Amino acid sequence: MKVLANDGISKAGEQVLKDAGIEVLDNRVAQDHVIKFINDNKVDVLLVRSATKVRQDLIDACPGLKIVGRGGIGMDNIDVEYAIEKGLYVINTPTASSKSVAELVFGHFFSLARFLHESNRLMPLEGETHFDAMKKSFSKAYELSGKTLGVIGFGSIGQEVAKMGISLGMKVIVLTRKPQTKVLTLEFFDGQSVQFEITSTNDMDAFLKEADFISINTPKTNEYIIDTPQFEKMKDGVYIVNTARGGVINEVALIDFIESGKVAGAALDVFEKEPNPEVLLLMNPALSLSPHVGGNTVDAQEKIGVELAEQIIKIKETIQ
C-alpha cells in the first residue's frame, strides 16, 4: 500500500505507517498534477489537510485510490459523500487538535482582555517615548475569572473550550441548535478528575445577553451565525473569538460594532477571504489576529499523524 501525504504528515505518523509495511511518499504535488501523480505512482491513500482539494474530478480520475484522509476536523475540501458513493474510505481526526484550538482561543482572550495584542505592536515603536501613556491606556483590563463564557458549538473543540473556561473559574454557557447535555471531565496532573454536567441552550437571545466572552466553534455554515441582529443583542463590551471557519461571523458588521463600542475586542484565526483577509481587519487595533493556526502545534500534528496512520492500518487489514 502506498500513501501520498500531500500536505505533510508528522514523523510519528509516518513511522507508524512504515512499521506496518506501508510506503509513505513525502512529495508535495501541485493541485493540477495530483491526479497524474496518483495514477503514475499507483497511490492507494491520499492524505490532505486544507491545501489539497479532493473533488469529484479527482475521485473519478483515480480509480485505484482506496482511502482519502483529512488531517483535522473539517472536511470542506473533500467531496465526502461522492467519495463514499464511489467506494472510497474517508477518514479524519476530529479530536486530535481540539486542545490546541481551545488553547489558541484562550490565548486570544487573554491578549484581548489585557491589551497584549496592541501593546506588543506599540512597545517596540513607542515604549521608550510613551511608556507611561501606554501604561495608562492599557490599565482598563479584565480578568476572565468570574466572567461568563459563551461557547457556540459543543463538538470536541467546544467541549475543550468549555473545560478550560471552567478551570479558570468562569461560568460556562453553551449554544447549540438543539439542547443537549454532556458530561465534561477535567483531568489533573496528579490523577484527580472532576466532572461537570452542562446542558446547552438553543435560545440565542438569552445566550447573547449573558455572555461576556464568546467563542465560536462550529463547522462551516452557509450563512452567518453572528450578524447585525446578533451583535445588537450582545452585552456592551463583549469579547469574541472565531477559530471556526471564515463566514460564520459578518466581518464588516464586526468592525462596525467594534467602532461603536459594543464589541470591546475580537480575535480572528479564520477569515471570509482567506488567504487574503481584508486590510481593514488587518489594521484594526481592536483585533487580535492569527493566520489559521488553531490546530498547528507540534503536539496536535503528532496526534493527527498517528491517528490517521492507525485508521489506515485498520482499513488495510479489512480490505486485504
Q: Which of 23, 103, 274, 302 is catalytic?
A: 274
Do 2-93+298-319 and 98-289 have matching folds? yes
CA angle 238, 243, 247 (to 5 degrees): 90
Q: Residue 205 — very low, low, confident or very high, per pLDDT cuts 50/70/90?
A: very high
Q: Is the pLDDT of residue 320 over 70?
A: no
pLDDT in tens, 92-133: 998 999 999 999 999 999 999 999 999 999 999 999 999 999
With CA atoms as reference, report the closest residue to 241 among 266, 259, 271: 266
Which of 160, 245, 251, 307 does the annotation list as catalytic?
245
Nearest partner of 97 among 243, 247, 209, 207, judged by Cα: 243
pLDDT class for 50, splitting at 50, 70, 90?
confident
Which whole number is the average pLDDT over 150-162? 97
What is the C-alpha separation between 152 and 201, in angstroms, rounded?
10
Domain boundaries, the chain: 2-93+298-319, 98-289
CB-CB contact of 53 with 14 (8 Å): no
- Residue 28 falls in the annotated catalytic set: no
Q: Is 245 among the residues known to form the active site?
A: yes
3-state secondary structure of 112: helix
Among residues 103, 272, 278, 292, the one annotated as catalytic is: 292
Residue 87 corresponds to which cell in the numbers above? 467506494
Q: Residue 74's pLDDT is what?
A: 78
pLDDT at 275 over 70: yes
33 a catalytic residue = no
User: Which pLDDT does position 164 carry in this prediction?
Assistant: 98
pTM: 0.89
Instruction: Indicate the fold that domain 98-289 takes in CATH.
Output: Rossmann fold (3.40.50)
Average pLDDT, the chain: 95
Question: In whole angstroms, what is the distance from residue 13 CA to residue 310 CA?
Answer: 8
Task: Could you please state the CATH topology (level 3) that the domain comprising 2-93+298-319 is classified under.
Answer: Rossmann fold (3.40.50)
The single residue listed with the C-alpha cell 477535567 is: 186
Q: What is the pLDDT of residue 220?
A: 85
pLDDT of residue 300: 94
Cα 37 from chain centroid (whole Å): 30
